[in-house]
Amino acid sequence: MSNNQQTPGVVAARLSGAELEQNFSDLHAPLDAHEAAVAADRCYFCYDAPCMTACPTTIDIPLFIRQIQTGTPDAAARTIFDQNILGGMCARVCPTETLCEEVCVRETAEGKPVEIGRLQRFATDTLMSKDGHPYGRAEQTGKTVAVVGAGPAGLSCAHRLAMKGHDVVLFDARAKAGGLNEFGIAAYKSVGGFAKAEVDWLMQIGGIRLQGGQALGDNLTIDDLSGDYDAVFLGIGMGGVNALRTDGEDKGNVLDAVDFIEELRQSNDLSTLKIGRNVVVIGGGMTAVDAAVQSKLLGAENVTMVYRRDRNAMGASVYEQDLATSRGVRIIYNAQPAGVHGNGAVAEVEFEYTTQQGGKLSGTGEKFRLPADQLFKAIGQKVTGAPDALKLNGGKIAVTQNGRTSVSGIWAGGDCASGGDDLTVTAVAEGRDAAEDIHAAIS
């Protein structure tokens, strides 16, 4: 244990370089060929395939596992990529424990599902490690589509449109493409620069031109895009972070969890990142878990997540909650923030216990305080930059099943759009389906 781990305040290098390297190694080691064959052999290849129904991108899971079993992982990868071009990242970050693996017959019968996620990673990694791109472009149509947002939805949409023969201009506010996959995923879930490598691999199809530093509502307007392009797809994500709305929120070392995760993901030297000894994370979703676990991995002595409702209401799955506690994170349920205390910087966070009756949450009046030299807010995000002309639904862009917005010629998908869960795999499906609808509309 490094001396800095016991140092009060927010400091860098709480752990040694070797400790940090070990802590942020691959969460799930990749399967080798023999392990993949053994894992694939457990599949019953169900004819009604509940796993396939549970997959938001409807990958033919029994087929790709059978292809691995028969020694053709490249074919398995094609089966995956046909439905989910970001299948490599989804194999790493998808909550398979609440999707395909949860409904696996082996899980029902034995409490141990087929390792679908790891098998998907084995197949996709095998094909992506080879030269060339597995897809070619159809004859060029002469049509050009603007895709705003180079996250999972935008990348999926752009690739499918390019494959159909359309030219795509991919705009993003950042210089680097990838969106959530590049900036918002826990570092131990996507190691070795995989997010960037996946984007580079996807772009090999051709016909996609990336323009960074282009934010909607800043130097891009929806009117200009509609006039200059045959169609527009918006995959702008959720850029705003909700406020705590409590006294003391403006104190020092009170930070947005998404900014913390981004800084960590883009760091070339984790020992330079400053972390507190006593860290508190407010929230109950995946961002909260990622911030809490990585705080612990950086060397924080005490890390506490506080969520206003009970365990079953948390956005993070039970698996992710258990992952957090296995790393030493304490989770307090049924408590809401009541104040941030400290002289200039946060020193304590005050909470009030909550109760829920008839679906309505209220405080009990009983309060407690937690010591904190660093506080991360992870209480949800909101869509920013959505054009005024578009109809909203619950703060998100209202869309039909195929991503059509209230304005003709404009589609949307991913976290910014109403409808599915805020998951990478759902965003990929929405981008893909919108691209198919755009293709039909402009052809």
Please report, for the chain, the start and end positions of each structural domain, with discontinuous segments joined by +: 33-128, 144-239+383-442, 241-377
> What pLDDT is attached to residue 380?
86
**Residue with structure tokens 């759902």?**
426
Residue 325: pLDDT band by 50, 70, 90 thresholds?
Answer: very high
Q: Are 2 and 14 in contact (CB under 8 A)?
A: yes
Number of residues that this document lists for the chain: 443
- pLDDT digit string, tens, across residues 384-404: 888 889 999 989 999 998 999
> What pLDDT is attached to residue 109?
93
> What pLDDT is attached to residue 330?
98
- pLDDT digit string, tens, across residues 98-141: 999 999 999 999 999 999 999 999 999 999 999 999 999 999 99
Query: What average pLDDT score do residues 309-337 get?
Result: 95
CA distance 420 to 397: 12
Tell me how far the alpha carbon of residue 67 is from its chain's centroid: 28
> What pLDDT is attached to residue 3?
67
pLDDT value at 416 more than 90: yes
Three-state SS string across 384-433, please? CCCCCCCCEECCEECCCCCCECCCCCEEECHHHECCCCCCHHHHHHHHHH
Q: Are 179 and 261 in contact (CB under 8 A)?
A: no
* Token digits of residue 215: 């934010």
- The two beta strands, 231-234 and 410-412, are parallel
What does CATH list as the number for 144-239+383-442? 3.50.50.60
> What pLDDT is attached to residue 323?
96
> What pLDDT is attached to residue 386?
87
Q: Name the superfamily (CATH) of residues 241-377.
A: FAD/NAD(P)-binding domain (3.50.50.60)
> What pLDDT is attached to residue 242?
86
Instruction: Give the torsion through C-alpha atoms of 388, 390, 391, 394, to 10 deg.
Output: -70
- The two beta strands, 240-241 and 381-382, are antiparallel
Quote the percentage of the chain above a pLDDT of 70.
99
CATH 1.10.1330.10 corresponds to the domain 33-128: no
The three-state secondary structure class of 54 is helix
> What pLDDT is attached to residue 163?
98
Residue 1: pLDDT band by 50, 70, 90 thresholds?
Answer: low
Three-state SS string across 173-233, please? CCCCCCCHHHHCCCHHHCCCCHHHHHHHHHHCCCCEEEECCCCECCCECHHHHHHHCCEEE
Query: What average pLDDT score do residues 165-186 get?
Result: 96
Query: What average pLDDT score do residues 141-159 get?
Result: 98
Instruction: Indicate if 144-239+383-442 has the same CATH topology as 33-128.
Output: no
> What pLDDT is attached to residue 359?
82
Query: What average pLDDT score do residues 189-214 get?
Result: 97
* Token digits of residue 355: 């109760």
What rounded mean pLDDT belongs to the chain?
95
Query: What average pLDDT score do residues 143-165 get?
Result: 98
Query: What average pLDDT score do residues 335-352 get?
Result: 97
pLDDT value at 240 more than 80: no
Residue with the larger pLDDT of the pair 336 and 383: 336
> What pLDDT is attached to residue 2?
64
Tell me how far the alpha carbon of residue 143 is from its chain's centroid: 31
> What pLDDT is attached to residue 345?
97
Residue 8: pLDDT band by 50, 70, 90 thresholds?
Answer: confident
Q: Tell me how crowded residue 5 is: count the other CB atoms within 10 A of its CB.
A: 18
pLDDT value at 290 more than 90: yes
